[in-house]
Amino acid sequence: MPMRKTITVATVAISALLLQSCGAFNWNQEAPYTQVMAWGEKGDQPGQFNDPTGIAVTATEVFVADARNSRIQVFDKNGNFRRSFGQDQLERPMNLSIANERLYVPDYFKDVVHVFSIDGRYLTAIESEDPFNSPAGASAFADGSLLVADTYGQRVVHVSTEGEIRNIWSGKGIWSGEFNYPTDVAISPKGGFYVADGYNDRVQQFNANGEYVRKWGGPFGLNIYGPFKGWFATVTSITVGPEGNVFVADFYNDRIQKFTSDGIYLTSFGNSSGKPGQTEIAVAVDGDGTVWTANFADNHIEKWRPKKK
């Protein structure tokens, strides 16, 4: 993706004024999460990473997109390495998702979505009849069709398993239903979906009919980035938890933010190492509410749980 400018003092000052004028200031509604485990370092050996960019979980395992090592690594819930696969098929794996007992892996360089079985067998590559342009996120419906965040295509595409286009939401811009390098997409269990609208610094929500519902992130969701609660500085990953809450990787703000299903801010957490600038890049949520993140700067995986009251 293109490089992002750092947040300047002027940006923060202007954003603060807009924050006050829009009444958008929001205290934590829930306690932050606590990191309970982390593993990994830079390298190419088992358990090492070179730019982890995606994460997904099953009941027993954690799957990591190890981007520059062109592979998927799999661990148990205690961080013990189990296996790796994809080196023969992948070039630059991105955000991961699991559905229908399959792992979906968008390939940023090959412009396809690879499909693997959970045990690592290669099944197929889903291409679009109107070719993808650097897809970074995908989420599967029950019938196996996909919603794909087509990053450089500036669109979200619904494709069948054969690559036939069923619907497209497209257009580069800041208005509702437009995108600025969308990076990920998450299907809601209740119908509809959420889009991580990367460089628009916001989330957009659509209903089960594909109609725009709302957007959030900064004043009016109009591409004004900042460090405040509920604001973003490049959105890189999105997922829906078991209770319907939305978890968002806020990359340059070094954190994960949690929202209700309709975009009300709840809490944020992340960046336990203190390294600024490029940390929490991907997020997944377990069935019990445990949160798993890929830390880009530190090349490691983190496990988070809500603080006990």
What confidence score (pLDDT) does residue 23 get? 37
**12 has a pLDDT exceeding 50:** no
At the fourth CATH level, the homologous superfamily of domain 9-306 is TolB, C-terminal domain (2.120.10.30)
What confidence score (pLDDT) does residue 275 get? 64
CB 268 within 8 A of CB 298: no
Residue range 225-278, pLDDT digits in tens: 999 999 999 999 999 999 999 999 999 999 999 999 999 999 999 976 666 667
Residue range 78-95, pLDDT digits in tens: 999 999 999 999 999 999
CB 260 within 8 A of CB 224: no
pLDDT range class, residue 72, cuts 50, 70, 90: very high
CB 203 within 8 A of CB 230: no
Residue range 164-202, pLDDT digits in tens: 999 999 999 999 999 999 999 999 988 899 999 999 999
**116 has a pLDDT exceeding 80:** yes
State the maximum Cα–Cα separation within the chain, in Å, rounded to a whole number: 54
The larger pLDDT score, comparing residue 53 to residue 274, is at 53
